[in-house]
Structure 1
Amino acid sequence: MTSVPTEEEVLDGFAVEPNHDDATIRRYLLAYPQYAESLIDLSRELSREIPEDGPLSDREIARIDLAVRRYAERPAFTQPTVGQCRAAAKELGVPRQVVTAILECKVAVETISRFAREKLAAQFDATVDGMIAAISGPPTSASRSYKADGQPSVGEKVSFERVLREAGVAEDVIADLVAKED
């Protein structure tokens, strides 16, 4: 199954090309006509002359300060609300138990596609890196507490695909969520 790269992947690929000449832009436009407008915008941005030693304008400084403040104000990750978990499950097209398994660190983070990580972080109003750090720890079960006869042990993490299958997610949804890799 060949998947079409996302707009972000195509733009990233174009940005790292050694040359952004007419031949390169033409090749990308022919291969990805659906992203033509974004490719042309990026091409113009990359070819724009930028003075290297000139001081920043007041407007540029204000925009940078605003971006830094917004980034600094956004927490890396806070425990999502029930509403955010519900919205994340709906966004991914999965039962809430999948989101719960991820939040309880029961899913091996490296098996979660970049697409799914980005969607979850957006729903949780968190950075992707902050969310990954939060869900990379040992498995927990904050919502459940039972008396045990023996010593508690940490369960082994499972793959994202396995959690999706065990939750009864449709095969086409699994394919979409797992196939959209880095």
Structure 2
Amino acid sequence: MPDQRKDNAEETLSAFAVEPSHDKATLDFYLKQHPELANELIDLSLELEMADPTEEDVFDTDSAIVNTAWAAFIAGGATYAPITAASFTREVAHSLGIKSSALMGLRDKKVEIQSLPIAFSTRLSRALATSVERLVEYLAGPQAMPVGASFKSDAKPEQKSKISIEQLLAECGHTPEQIANILRED
């Protein structure tokens, strides 16, 4: 079993090495996918950052092992784009049957993730072209502060408590019937 674990680690590190960019977002993505390889990934990232760009590639990108690692990584779900504020479009709101203001509340992470029904989370993740796991991870983050909030206040703006999805939809003007339909379990 240890040999298989070592092979998987080598495949993952090789896949990271052939990434076109080794920026923070790429490193964070690999760290979330493979937390057991945190030290190795960080070390490799630093090595790649310090490498002389005039030198030849350290890794043989024509290597069968590198190509196999890359294919395995892609097959493992690496095709999802990260969720960003720009992911929350009018089309996403329309596909869910919610008002744009409600979608903006989700975008700004105002909702308690425990209040999201599984079916709604699944529909939202599909509309955002991501996995439910990544959606939950995104929504669990700290709330986004309104742009310029600190400039419009004499005191430091404070984070509000997160609210339930039902409360968000009601505050955005959805009727109880609409809320029941939006949050229905398929």
User: TM-score scaled to structure 2, two decimals?
Assistant: 0.54
Aligned residues: CA RMSD: 2.5
The runs of 5 or more residues in structure 1 that have no matched partner are 1-64
Match of 1:87 in 2: 91
Determine which of 105, 117, 121 is the counterpart of 2:125.
121
Asked if the contact 1:139–1:154 (Cα under 8 Å) also holds between the matched residues in 2, the reply is yes
Q: Is the 8 A contact 1:76 1:127 kept in 2?
A: no
5 Å-filtered alignment, 1:19-58, equals none
The verdict on how the C-alpha distance between 1:141 and 1:70 changes in structure 2, with shifts beyond 3 A counting, is farther
Runs of 4+ in 1 over 4 A off after TM superposition: 65-68
Deviation of the 1:80 alpha carbon: 5.3
1:170 maps onto 2:175 in alignment: yes
How many residue pairs end up in the alignment?
A: 115
CA distance in structure 1 between the aligned counterparts of 2:120 and 2:89, rounded to whole angstroms: 13
Distance 1:173 1:66 in 2: 44
Q: Where does the alignment leave 5 or more consecutive residues of structure 2 unmatched?
A: 1-69
TM-score, structure 1 as length reference: 0.55
User: Cα distance, 1:109 vs. partner?
Assistant: 0.8
CA distance in 2, matches of 1:76, 1:129: 13
Q: Distance in 2 between matches of 1:174 and 1:117?
A: 14
Identity level (%)? 19
Distance (whole Å) between structure 1 residues aligned to residue 132 and residue 73 of structure 2: 17
Q: 1:137 offset after TM fit, Å?
A: 1.4
